[in-house]
């Protein structure tokens, strides 16, 4: 019989890096991980947002480390990996959540600089995270890598441009990584949160009433499930909104 899942202890002692942790789903996941006993490393560009999340975590009795960083700059990711190694010697959980939408427009009309920025953050930064964090995940007894995707990666939605392309590439990359680490203790998976009331969602659908949409906190459960040492899934896509 499997051991019961005890709230507040499911990630006790685990070290978790969450990117895009200053707001929305990233912030909600970081707070949930801390509430489950993890030491959380908060990574994002917005210092003020990180401080707010840190205050909430510490106010609830949790522990967090703030890392203001632009993940679109590869050398910053390498430096982050080195810092985690120096301080902790391992990484138990990696959540690749940081992303930008970019402009919704026809592919042929896309601004090249903005297209590249979206690809750099939404796809290439996650490749660099895998590259830099893989040795740290291998140093864990049960490394877990979780990446956030979206439905536009699997359906043809006109005008979603670089964002859809990046998410489609992300899904293939994570599946490849999962296959390549099959004989290790690492598990790598994808989560599609579905429709959630975030500032990111509001940029894409400005006419929506965010108050009528599920809150970011409502989709954190599968992030905990996939982060637990006992998780056996790898190379899977979990649709949190279904």
Place of tokens 């912030």: 27
Q: In this structure, what CATH number is given to the domain that contains residue 171? A: 3.40.50.720
* pLDDT, position 203: 81
Range of the domain at 188: 15-239
In a domain, 1, yes or no: no
Does any domain span residue 161?
A: yes
- Total domains in the chain come to 1
What the block records as the tokens of 105 is: 């427009």
| Residue whose entry in the numeric block shows the structure tokens 């490393």 | 41
Read off the pLDDT of residues 8-40 as tens digits, 9 standing for 90 and up: 799 999 999 999 999 999 999 999 999 999 999
The pLDDT of residue 4 is: 56
Query: Is the confidence at residue 2, as pLDDT, over 80?
Result: no
In a domain, 4, yes or no: no
Q: Assess if residue 3 is contained within a domain.
A: no
The mean pLDDT value of the chain amounts to 94
Q: What is the mean pLDDT of residues 123-127?
A: 98
pTM of the model: 0.94
Give me the active site residues, please.
Answer: 163
Q: What is the pLDDT of residues 188-214, one digit of tens each?
A: 999 999 988 888 888 888 878 878 898
In a domain, 139, yes or no: yes
Any domain includes 5:
no
Q: What is the pLDDT of residue 212?
A: 87
Q: What is the pLDDT of residue 1?
A: 35
Q: Is 183 exposed, middle or buried (0-12, 13-18, 19+ CB in 10 A)?
A: exposed
Region 154-162 average pLDDT: 95
Give residue-wise pLDDT tens across range 43-89: 999 999 999 999 999 999 998 999 999 999 999 999 999 999 999 99
Does a structural domain hold residue 8? no
Residues 6+ away with beta carbon under 8 Å from 92: 14, 15, 16, 38, 137, 140, 142, 143, 144, 227, 229
- Beta strand 63-68 pairing with 39-44: parallel
142 found inside a domain = yes
On the question of pLDDT at 5 being above 80, the answer is no
For the residues 119-134, what does the mean pLDDT come to?
A: 98
Name the residue with higher pLDDT: 169 or 198: 169
> Which ranges in the chain belong to alpha helices (H)?
24-35, 47-59, 74-87, 112-119, 125-138, 161-180, 199-204, 221-227
Separation of alpha carbons 29 and 143, rounded Å: 17
% of the chain at pLDDT higher than 70: 96
Tokens of 195: 């429709």
């Amino acid at each position: 019989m499997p051991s019961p899942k005890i709230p507040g202890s499911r990630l006790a002692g685990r070290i978790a890096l969450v990117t895009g942790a200053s707001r929305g789903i990233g912030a909600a996941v970081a707070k949930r991980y801390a509430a489950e006993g993890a030491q959380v490393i908060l990574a994002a560009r917005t210092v003020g947002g990180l401080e707010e999340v840190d205050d909430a975590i510490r106010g609830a009795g949790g522990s967090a480390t703030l890392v203001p960083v632009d993940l679109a700059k590869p050398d910053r990711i390498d430096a982050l990996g080195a810092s985690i190694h120096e301080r902790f010697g391992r990484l138990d959980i990696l959540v690749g959540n940081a992303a930008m939408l970019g402009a919704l427009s026809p592919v042929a009309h896309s601004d090249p600089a903005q297209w590249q920025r979206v690809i750099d953050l939404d796809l290439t930064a996650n490749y660099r995270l895998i590259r830099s964090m893989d040795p740290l995940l291998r140093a864990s007894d049960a490394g877990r890598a979780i990446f956030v995707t979206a439905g536009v990666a699997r359906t043809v939605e006109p005008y979603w441009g670089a964002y859809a392309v990046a998410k489609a590439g992300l899904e293939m990359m994570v599946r490849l990584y999962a296959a390549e680490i099959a004989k290790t203790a690492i598990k790598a998976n994808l989560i599609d949160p579905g429709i959630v009331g975030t500032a990111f969602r509001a940029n894409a659908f400005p006419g929506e009433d965010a108050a009528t949409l599920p809150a970011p906190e409502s989709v954190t459960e599968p992030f905990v499930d996939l982060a637990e040492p006992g998780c056996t899934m790898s190379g899977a896509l979990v649709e949190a909104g279904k």
